[in-house]
Amino acid sequence: FQTVHHDLWDYDNASPRALVTLTRDGVQTPAVLQATKSGMLFVLNRETGEPVFPVEERPVPPSDIPGEEASPTQPFTALTPPLSPHRLVAEDAWGIDDADRAACRKVLEGLRNEGVFTPPSTQGTLVIPSNIGGAHWGGVAVDPERQIAVVPVNRIAAMVQLIPRAEFDRDRFRAEDDRLGHDYEYNMMRGTPYVMRRRMLLGPSGLPCSPPPWGALVAIDLKTGGRLWEVPLGSLTRPLPPELAARIQDGWGSPNLGGPIATAGGVVFIAAALDRWLRAYDIDTGRELWRGPLPESGRATPMGYRLD
């Protein structure tokens, strides 16, 4: 089962699989859950590979790069809604002030943007979710008794551009990046006629161009395939300058990299965000129950253990 065909977006399955036995209409089904950077949660029968909840092959935009044949369709979960948004248009550009909004809108207006799975281009392409997801390397926590899966996700857009190798001058491009305050990642893609560059879409303030929350915890009901709840995850007050951090509001969430665990008592523990907190949530409602300080941002999955 392919979660993405002919991957052009860095949508590798970074999230580890979760194994669970589902009970539907009194019948037990051994299942495997795969959350993806493209913002979907695939639930498959782990004996046959067949989807437990429907999956559709939907048309997606073609590549305009000569010789590149992008897959004409991609798999979408038909019943379970996307965990992260699949579209961002210039009119929806976010900014903490007018200058940020204007700068983000201008960047978005210049990008090829036909929704999720728009292929990379020489013009520059919007990638949403970005190459850090959607779901990321943190993975999924499952409560097997309540039949609930909880997934941490990112909700930040990125851009990717292919530069013809004959036009690429590393020093000139780097100097331009420094002048404009951009932080591009370059990949030489040896053996191809292009150099790839990409970056997260941030405004001049350093905050994302996509609307908050920029990180969230999403719960999926494995009995129905529907979304049970979602809550913002973390806060982006770090590593911002103090004067900007003071303007960050509760509920804006944070980019996150790290997984959750679920206890038999119905509590989900997760750190993962850029701030320095370990949080506990009610798995039935998403209500935050507790938080405890950490010496640093926790970019891994908490460990559960028993004390005598």
> Which of 102, 106, 116 has its CA nearest to residue 40?
116
Contact indicator for 259, 152 with CB cutoff of 8 Å: yes
Q: What are phi and psi of 167, to 5 degrees?
A: -100, 0
d(CA 153, CA 213): 10
Single out the catalytic residue among 10, 100, 143, 275.
10
d(CA 50, CA 258): 29
Cα dihedral sign, 104-110-112-113? positive
Tokens of 53: 């909840």
Given 3-state DSSP classes, what are the helix, strand and coil percentages for the chain, each rounded to the nearest 5? 10, 35, 55
Helix residue spans in the chain (DSSP H): 98-109, 170-180, 242-245
Annotation says 10 is catalytic: yes
Residues 6+ apart with CB under 8 A from 287: 281
> Which of 75, 97, 92 has its CA nearest to residue 13?
75
Q: Is 39 exposed, middle or buried (0-12, 13-18, 19+ CB in 10 A)?
A: buried
d(CA 140, CA 152): 7
d(CA 176, CA 172): 6
Angle, CA of 28, 37 and 62, to the nearest 5°: 110
DSSP structure class, residue 78:
S
| Residues involved in catalysis | 10
